[in-house]
Amino acid sequence: MLREIREQPAALARTLRAERGHVVEVARGLRARAPRLLVLVARGTSDNAAVFGRYLLEIATGIPVSLAAPSVHTLYRRTPALEESLVLGISQSGEGVDINRVLASCRRAGATVLAITNTAGSTMAGIAHETFVTRAGPERSVAATKTYSCQLLALYMLAAALRGESLDRLERIPEDAERALALEGRIEELVERYRFMDRCVVVGRGLNYATAHELAIKLMETCYVVAEPFSSADLAHGPVALIERHFPAFLFAPPGPTFAGMKATAGRLRQLGADTLIVSSEPAILRLASCPVRIAPRVDDFFSPIPYVIPGQILTARLAVEKGLSPDRPRSLSKVTRTV
């Protein structure tokens, strides 16, 4: 898992280089058709990428975005009206049975179907009208890391291309990921503090709501910690009652539209005596943290999800080892999960 975390800058650069022309060409045709709805279909870690995609694509294009409920198609056997819709499946393997059934159902209903996968010859790629292949290379750890960040990059490319914008701004992303890897030493200093943690909350908002979900799923699958992800707004609507002295809380707080709310949440958690690990570039919130993790140089909200998730990935890999567990072979899990 750690080796694959460290491979992310190169994987991101390969994906951008290989797929940018293809994404621009496909998006040109999509803009001509003017889809009225985007639907994202995924499970597991890829579903967290879809949560990110929902925020990103609505912000970038103004087109409403929905997250599909696969059971509507697979168990209740109903297909929504999807004419003039764009449906995007996201999967590391491209072999999720339920996701592929949903995509096939949507295609029959008249939707344009796209896929983002790390496996060019997968079943998903065969169903989609067009497939964007991430260039993460083989991912052997059960816990997905480099495929997740490459999925986010593919969504960035699609969002920019749907707006008719240059993809040149995205060239900074592999560099931001490389700089985030320099935090590995800082994370190593902190993991012993959380060795006996068995529950926590993870908080992010906006584009980093997905980051909160992604750290939470990694803590659950590799460290067997009950981790609940929240937006800072949702935390205030009841779940904050969970927080007591020394309760672990992990926060992602880049500068930008979500910062004021995240800073207010950090202040409230400090008043309650929580043990807070905060990932940010901003001194105003880092000084409120029990364990500050400083992102440098400053990355604004829009480009923060990839460099901000990397410290969380390192934390889960290192914490699993600290707990005497294998992050590569979590109990009860396999690399490809097939559900219907």
Q: Global pTM?
A: 0.95
Residue 126, domain extent: 2-174
C-alpha dist (Å) from residue 215 to 23, 36, 108, 161, 238: 28, 32, 36, 29, 21
Q: What is the pLDDT of residue 204?
A: 97
- Using the predicted structure, report yes or no on whether residue 210 has a pLDDT greater than 90: yes
For range 100-116, the mean pLDDT: 96
Per residue in 200-235, is it b (16+ CB within 10 Å) or e — as a string?
A: bbbbbbbbbbbbbbbbbbbbebbbebebbbbbbeeb
The token pair that represents 91 in the structure block: 């999967």
- Using the predicted structure, report yes or no on whether residue 236 has a pLDDT greater than 90: no
For range 9-20, the mean pLDDT: 98
pLDDT in tens, 274-331: 999 999 999 999 999 999 999 999 999 999 999 999 999 999 999 999 999 988 887 6
Within-domain flag for 271 = yes
37 and 165 both lie in a single domain: yes
Within-domain flag for 331 = no
Query: Do 206 and 303 form a contact (C-beta atoms < 8 A)?
Result: no
122 and 204 both lie in a single domain: no
- Using the predicted structure, report yes or no on whether residue 335 has a pLDDT greater than 60: no
Q: What are the helix and strand counts (H, E) for the chain? A: 14, 10
316: three-class secondary structure by DSSP: helix
How many Cβ atoms sit within 10 Å of the Cβ of residue 19?
Answer: 23
77: three-class secondary structure by DSSP: coil
Within-domain flag for 45 = yes
Within-domain flag for 327 = no
Choose one of 174, 200, 221: the last residue of a domain. 174
165 and 212 both lie in a single domain: no
Burial class from Cβ neighbours inside 10 Å (0-12, 13-18, 19+) for residue 33 reads exposed
**CATH number for the domain including 295?**
3.40.50.10490
Alpha-carbon 106 to chain mean position: 24
Q: For residue 112, give the H/E element and its range.
A: strand 112-117
Query: Do 124 and 131 form a contact (C-beta atoms < 8 A)?
Result: yes
pLDDT in tens, 171-208: 999 999 999 999 999 999 999 999 999 999 999 999 99
Within-domain flag for 328 = no
